Amino acid sequence: MKMKRAAVYVRVSRDDQNTGAQETALRDYVEQRGWQLHRVYRDHGVSGALSNRPALDELMRDARRRVFDTVVVWKFDRFARSLKTLIAGLELFKSLNIDFVSVTESVDTSLPSGELVFQIFGAVAQFERALIGERVKAGLKHARQQGKALGRPALRLLSKREIAQLRKERRESRLPFRTLAVKYRISVWTAHHLCTRSH
């Protein structure tokens, strides 16, 4: 049977901290499980709130190349500071058949209990997305009922005379919408909309 290759990820937020304690515990854990340590990925002095973390980015690239079989972390919050980021990472690992272990939280997605945790997290994330979608729809509906204009505001509002002149130039000179947009200081979409909507 092929020995499982483990990638260890450690992170500390401040420069005056070090990853030594996490790393020692995770190395011991990997050895106890009888796995082969592929590599330790270290982010030092990097906030977990940042979406771009050098070592984590490298770990994710290596995951896509399937150079290891499992990812081991000390705690979930070392890997991700939001449920959204955690679920995205776990879903990627699952699609690549890579297991995920959080040692202090006793979660191992290769085990039935760990798979259950993954399913619960996924359900919570889906519920969260549904709630956000409902809030957005309710907010837009309320704004429309209040008569508020939705979408990006126009760069500037044209007078009726300017609109008539713009349409005339488009009709007679066939000027491109981009040229008209620059001339009248409006967006290309607005120029197109003014020229194609019914007068």
Q: Regarding beta strands 99-102 and 5-12, do their DSSP bridges make them parallel or antiparallel, or are they unpaired?
A: unpaired
List the catalytic residue out of 13, 51, 95, 187.
Answer: 13
Indicate if the pLDDT at residue 151 is higher than 80: no
13 assigned to active site: yes
Q: What is the pTM of this model?
A: 0.59
Domains and CATH numbers, the chain: 5-124 (3.40.50.1390), 160-196 (no CATH)
Residues 6+ apart with CB under 8 A from 164: none
Distance CA 34, CA 103 (A): 15
| 47 confidence band (pLDDT: 50, 70, 90) | low
- What pLDDT score was predicted for residue 178? 87
Percent of the chain exceeding pLDDT 70 equals: 87
199 pLDDT more than 60:
no
Of the chain, the percentage scoring pLDDT greater than 90 comes to 27
Mean pLDDT of all residues in the chain?
83
Q: Write down the pLDDT at residue 51.
A: 59
Q: 144-183: b or e for each residue (b if 16 or more CB lie within 10 Å)?
A: eeeeeeeeeeeeeebeeeeeeebbebbeeeebebeebbee
